[in-house]
Amino acid sequence: MTVSIEEKASFEFKGRMLMATVLYLKDLDSRSLHQQISQRLEDAAQWLLDAPVVVDVAHPEEASQVELLTAVDTLRGLGVNLVALARHPELDDQVAAMLGLGSINLANGRDVARSEPPARTGNSKAAPAAAAEDTLVVEQPVRSGQQVYARGDLIVLAPVSTGAELLAEGNIHIYSTLRGRALAGVRGNEAARIFCQDLDAELVSIAGHYRVAEDLPDAYRRKPVQMSLDGDAMSFADLMGKS
């Protein structure tokens, strides 16, 4: 190694944005984790191996250090590029350091999502109440190339064209034809729902779980539909009748 004796800046801060994948561990059982992740890696090719991954534990209060350690080892063994652990009161930077990971605060906005258990059964549970002032009402058609973002619920009273995109942190209601994309719960709210008078969408998504047009169930095409998340899968129900 050479030692520089010149007075010159040896570092520079670069304000670069970095995309990281958050791996949300609902279960720390290392055997099922190994099986499911390795299968996913086969399906999804390189994306998990290349991207830096932040581990977020679903139930930090129940997670023992041993479980965490084996889970992290399992993931590392599969070649997942772990960089940090999402911070929780129970999982502070000391725990992260013990696992050989950095500690990152993902809390902004996501706490809201996690404070409420995801609606499992669908219609029995009320959607989370977004503050009324965050509700956005759109009365004009949403045209191809336009994007509408609502911090709470989004209500659209006109057609949404192919190539248009609706994004909401809460629920999305469309009292007309949806031909474009609708993404509800974009910040992780798994209890968010999409309601639509006439479903002809390019893509629908709730909290990142999506379906493209090709995968929409035929029985609900061009019908009044509500969509919610049932576990990891999107569930469709008749908007009018009992589901």
Q: What are the residues binding another protein (CB under 8 A)?
A: 140-146, 158-159, 161-164, 177, 179
Query: Identity (one letter) of the amino acid at 162?
Result: T
Residues 57 and 120: beta-carbon distance below 8 Å: no
* Cα 35 to Cα 7, 38, 105, 167, distances in angstroms: 53, 5, 28, 34
Residue nearer to another protein on the CB measure, 109 or 145 = 145
Residue nearer to another protein on the CB measure, 70 or 161 = 161
Residue nearer to another protein on the CB measure, 95 or 142 = 142
Residues 78 and 34: beta-carbon distance below 8 Å: yes
Cα–Cα distance measured from residue 99 to residue 60, given in angstroms and rounded to the nearest whole number:
14
Residue nearer to another protein on the CB measure, 36 or 140 = 140
Closest distance between another protein and the C-beta of residue 149, in Å?
Answer: 15
Cα distance from N-terminal residue to C-terminal residue, the chain: 70
Closest distance between another protein and the C-beta of residue 150, in Å?
Answer: 18
Closest distance between another protein and the C-beta of residue 206, in Å?
Answer: 25
Residue 209, helix vs strand vs coil: strand
Closest distance between another protein and the C-beta of residue 66, in Å?
Answer: 56
